[in-house]
Chains A and B, each alone.
Chain A
Amino acid sequence: MHATSDQTSVSESALTFLHAQIVDYHLRGHGGHCLDPPESPPEVAAHHSAPSTMPQDATASENQDLAILAAKRKRLDALGNQVGTRLVERLALHRSRLENHLDMVKFICKDFWEAVFNKHIDVLRTNHRGLYVLTDNEFRWLSSVSPTPQHSGLPEDFVVFPCGLICGALTTLGLPCRVTAELVPVQSAYKCSFNVQMIQN
């Protein structure tokens, strides 16, 4: 994350690699192991091996895997949420009060994005009913992820943390919301759209 000249700054590539490692650790590494189902003893596994070939069991196992992946992603999202909460406190310290929700989203698009990615959000759209779409035409944290399907991790995994980051920042500013992301491969990079849906109290 970048900082003003009088503050310590962090190398952008180091941050990108660190983010990739955090994703890997939480979704495929030791960070997510506590959510994995306990391994069955060999004899029990052998006993269950025959029925597991049945389609019903295969579906159940697939559902369980999906539930575990969702839980792991939720943890990663919570991590981003905490970082966003802390970061926005510091960035908003010397700013004038943000009066309405659009001002808050604009703050995220400009100051917050500048601090994290050293650029502004490229396009901001809203339906004026609590939905905001923030589009980054070249999302930097996906610059090292190949658009080809051979890559070990899904590109969607790499936007879980940023979604939490935006959600945490906006919630702290007083805009409780739900954030989802859509990815579109563009040449060697990804165009990323973050959909911010305000949660009505």
Chain B
Amino acid sequence: MENGDKKGSKSGEGGQERGQIVCVAVIAPNNALLYMRVMNAKQKQGEAEESGWRQMQEVVYNSLDVVEERVWSAKGRGGGAVGRESDGYVGCLAVVGRTCVYGSVSKSAYKTIVVVREGRDGAQHNGVRAALAAIGEALVAALMNCALTPRHALRARRFDRRLLSIAADFGDAP
């Protein structure tokens, strides 16, 4: 896992034209996993699906350290623009093979992690940022649901559908 600020995107040889969201995770302020969805996971069966999910979980948890480091250490130093914008975007957290991990932090310290498979077009950064902002809004809408207990596992069909729609708008349909 390579950690770094990746501004552009790799040009994939023979890959998709557009980038694709492969995983979305929502983490509570106490770093508990509230929601995780691996796109296209249903195409794989049995152990392959399980191992793909586990792999993504590992990637997400490793990225959390980078989020903590960037946001809170910058805050501790009394400076740093990381995560200070209204959308809480913290940029590219890691690069794993052909996928990049991006994240954002809400004002109440909910972290949203998105794993994106890079496409050929270079202008992916803004697209990821917009997708993270849209996921943030969907998350707030889900948290408004009185049937859900705050900081407990997020199981809401509307949130699921909204995420699928965001992923479809971002790149290929999941």
A residues at B contact (CB < 8 Å): 82, 85-86, 88-90, 92-99, 172-174
Contacts and interface: CB of A to CB of B under 8 A. Distances in A.
Interface residues of B, number: 16
B143 A97 contact: no
B143 A89 contact: yes
Contacts of B109: 174
B144 A94 contact: no
Contacts of B137: 93
A172 B144 CA distance: 14
Interface string B83-109: 111101000000000000000001111
Contact of B107 (A82, A86, A97): A97
Nearest to B136: A93
A86 B83 contact: no
A85 B151 CA distance: 10
A92 B107 contact: yes
Interface string B140-166: 100110000010000000000000000
Contacts of A174: 108-109
B75 interface: yes
Interface in B119-145: 136-137, 140, 143-144
A92 B86 CA distance: 9
Contact of A94 (B83, B84, B86, B143): B86
Contacts of A89: 106-108, 140, 143-144
